[in-house]
Amino acid sequence: MNATKDETVRSPAFRRFRGQPAPTPGSSSGGGTPGTAAEVLPAHTPALFRSAVRQAADLLRAGQVVALPTETVYGLAANALDAEAVARIYEIKGRPAHNPIIVHVAGLEMARRCVATWPPSADKLAAAFWPGPLTLVLPRSKEIPDAVTAGGTTVGVRCPSHPIIQAVIRECGFPLAAPSANPSNRISPTTAEHVRKQLGGKIRCIVDGGPSQVGIESTVLDLTAEPPRVLRPGMIHEGALAAVIGAVRGDARGAPGGETLRSPGLLRRHYAPRAKLVVLSWRDDADLKSQISNLKSQISDCHLIAHSRVPSPKGFGRVSLIPHDPEAFARALYAELHRCDEEGAGWIVVEAPPETPEWTAIQDRLKRAGAT
C-alpha cells in the first residue's frame, strides 16, 4: 500500500466514518480487470438485497469502484474519504480533473462531518427534501480529499432516497463519492443495463435496483452564495426551494474551460448521445419535415421524441411519445436517448418542452446534450 492510501486509511476522520478495519495490504484496490464483464447483482428479494449490499460494501471498503442505483441516475461509487479510490472514478469515466464529485451520505450526522459549517438553511432544506434529489454545496471539511472537490473549497452533499445506496452507505460507515455511472459527458444511466453496456468492462460489479425513479440528476444549490444559487437545476425547482428558505437565485451557469467548478453538470456539453440532438417546435408534419430538411438530414435518419404534437411515424427512424408531464418526461428521457443511440439514429429531434419552472431541469439537460 502506498503512502497516500495509507495516510487516508489511518487518519482519525477515516476511522471515525468507517468504524471498520482498513483493507489489509495486498488486497484488491483497482477497478474491473480489462476485458472482464462486471457482475450484475440482483436485489429484488430481501435475501438478494442483503447479499448485494454486503458484496458492494466489501468492494468499497477495499478501495474498489462499484455502480449503485440512486433515485436520480445510477452512480459510480467509491469511498469519498479515500483519494485513490476517488481518483479511479475519474480514470474510469474519463472525467475532467476540474469537475467535482457529489458526496452521498446516509443522514444528517454523516453530512455534517463532510462540511466545515452547517447553516440553519441546510437544516430546513434537509428536513424538507432529504432523502431526495437535492445536493447542498457547503464549505468542505478537512476530511474530504481534494480529489472529490477538484481542489475547490466547497463540497456538494446529498442524502439519496434509494434504499440500496442508503443501505450500502450504512454498511460501509463512510460517505460515497458517486457521479453518474457513464463515460464523461455521455448520457447518464437509469438502468443497470445502461451501466453494463457503457462501463461493464471497467468495474467489478453493478447492483441492479431497477429503473431510476427521478431519471435526471439532482438539483444542486450553493448555500455559500447570498442568496443561495442553483448551480444545476433538477426536479426540485427554484420555487420549491424558495418556499423553504426564502430568496433563491436560479442562474445556473458553467465556467470557462479548465476552471474548477463548484458543481457537476456545468460543462457546456454534457448528458450527450452519440447522435446529434436538436430541440424543435413544430405546428404540423409539414412544418416539422421542413425544419428537418434545413438540418441537411434524411427523415429516415431522424428519431423523434415528442410529448404533445405527435407526428405521423411514416418515414422517420423512430417516433417516441413521452407523457406531457415533467416528472414522467424526466423519468423516460435518458432511456429514450439511449434507445436512439442503440438503434443508430443520426439525429435525435426532441419536441421543445414548455418554458415553465417545472421544466427548467429538462430544458437544461436538452441544451447541454445538444451543444456542439
24 contacts: CB under 8 Å, gap ≥ 6: none
β partners of residue 42? 208
> Based on the number of CB atoms within 10 Å of its own CB, is 15 exposed (0-12), middle (13-18) or buried (19 or more)?
middle
Whole-angstrom Cα distance, residue 144 to residue 114?
6
Local structure of 199: helix, strand or coil: helix
Q: Please indicate, yes or no, whether the overall pTM of this predicted structure exceeds 0.85.
A: yes
pLDDT of residue 252: 54
**Residue 24: half-sphere exposure toward Cβ, Cα within 13 Å:** 0
- Closest Cα to residue 220, out of 261, 187, 272, 168? 261
pLDDT tens, residue by residue, 323-341: 999 999 999 999 999 999 9
For the chain, the average pLDDT equals: 88
Angle at 117 between CA 111 and CA 122, to 5 degrees: 60
Domain edges within the chain:
3-245, 276-369
Per CATH, the homologous superfamily of domain 3-245 is DHBP synthase (3.90.870.10)
Distances (CA, A) of 298 to 291, 293, 306, 313: 11, 7, 18, 14
Residue pair 352/287 in contact by the 8 Å Cβ criterion: no
Q: Does the CA dihedral 216-207-35-101 come out positive or negative?
A: positive
Cα–Cα distance for residue pair 25/301, rounded to 1 Å: 54
Residues of the chain with pLDDT under 50: 1-30, 254-258
Domain 276-369: assigned CATH number: 3.40.50
If you write DSSP's letter for every residue of 220-249 in order, what string do you get? Answer: EEETTSSS-EEEE--SS-HHHHHHHHS--B
Per residue in 5-35, pLDDT tens?
333 333 333 444 444 433 333 333 445 555 5
Q: What pLDDT shows up at residue 251?
A: 66
Given a contact cutoff of 8 angstroms between Cβ atoms, the answer to whether 172 and 60 are in contact is: yes
